[in-house]
Amino acid sequence: MAAYRGRLAPTPTGLMHVGHARTFALAARRTEAAGGSLIMRIEDLDGSRCRPEFSEAALEDLHWLGLNWQEGPDAGGPHAPYVQSRRLPWFAEVWRRLHASGTIYPCDKSRKDVERALSAPHAEDDAEPIFPASLRPASDAGRDAFDPGSTNWRFRVPDGKVIGFMDAIRGAQRFTAGTDFGDFLVWRKDGMPAYELAVVADDHAMGVTEVVRGADLLLSTARQLLLFEALGWPPPAWAHAPLVTDLFGRRLAKRASGLSIRELRDRGFSPADVLSADLSQLSP
């Protein structure tokens, strides 16, 4: 069996939140327990929201919490992180491979078009609406493209296909393509890969054997398994950590409260408290 390789993959759009930090600590513990190596990967592809100062703050916060990564770099020292914005040629190569597999198509539909095509408004404001099959183009659309150009590209999901996987924390999982999620973005019209493509491309390239991340990404795992299959790559194992919630069971998302590591540090919490104390009563 391949040696265990885990990863920490922060997105530097703000100060690191306690929920993310706990997930990262779990990733580090699982790597250590398996005697494996851990890589650091900064997921900074959303240029309008990511900031270098948040990357630096994330690395510093994680060091303060006692986490260490053994391996990273495209450049610069054994502890330097991989940085996704420096890896665009690799993502373009993965776009080409997906294009060659005939599973993706160019899509000029806006979110408004999608909402108009759906008969009922979708339940949760946050949840991405399921892309309706009626908005798909002909099956050969985009076949003669040489590059993504300035349009979105979507993966055509095999409707009705059940995607099952074993989660190390939550047990057996099952999702149905076309019902639980629809055709999803793999490339954005601003010339950047979409999250699902970039993560699969890098988890493969970096030899990640287990992905540890928040349970909010379970559906993404189902999507990503379809990408691994289309690319002919073996998928990693999965462990989805429970999300940290407040007194009312609401998710402590970055946007909703001020529970950043910085703030907890300033309030005098120790790394051990940040990683394990019950913070549900804490006011933001």
Active site residues: 254
Per the CB < 8 A criterion, the answer to whether 212 and 242 are in contact is no
List the one residue out of 78, 102, 89 whose CA is nearest residue 191: 89
Q: Is 119 helix (H, G, I), strand (E, B) or coil?
A: coil
Q: Which stretch binds ligand GLU (CB under 6 A): 3-11, 99-107, 244-252, 276-284?
A: 3-11
Q: Measured from the CB atom, is 183 or 202 closer to ligand GLU?
A: 202
Determine the Cα–Cα distance for residues 143 and 150; give it in Å rounded to an integer: 15
Residue 75, Cβ neighbours under 10 Å: how many? 9
Q: Which residues pair with 253 in a beta bridge?
A: none
Positions in 77-116 near ligand GLU (CB under 6 A): none
Provide the residue count of the chain.
284
201 sits near ligand GLU (criterion: CB under 6 A): no
Q: Which two tokens stand for residue 116?
A: 């108009």
Whole-number minimum distance, CB 99 to ligand GLU, in Å?
Answer: 23
Positions in 41-60 near ligand GLU (CB under 6 A): 43
Tokens 């939550």 locate to 170
Positions in 4-33 near ligand GLU (CB under 6 A): 9-11
213 sits near ligand GLU (criterion: CB under 6 A): yes
Determine the Cα–Cα distance for residues 43 and 172; give it in Å rounded to an integer: 28
Per the CB < 8 A criterion, the answer to whether 221 and 199 are in contact is no
Determine the Cα–Cα distance for residues 165 and 237; give it in Å rounded to an integer: 9
Q: Measured from the CB atom, is 30 or 213 closer to ligand GLU?
A: 213
What is the size of the binding site for ligand GLU (CB under 6 A)? Answer: 7
Determine the Cα–Cα distance for residues 221 and 231; give it in Å rounded to an integer: 15
Binding mask 214-253 for ligand GLU (x = CB under 6 A): ---x------------------------------------
Whole-number minimum distance, CB 11 to ligand GLU, in Å?
Answer: 4
Whole-number minimum distance, CB 41 to ligand GLU, in Å?
Answer: 8
Q: Measured from the CB atom, is 109 or 254 closer to ligand GLU?
A: 254
Whole-number minimum distance, CB 117 to ligand GLU, in Å?
Answer: 29
The residue ranges that bind ligand GLU (CB under 6 A) are: 9-11, 43, 199, 213, 217
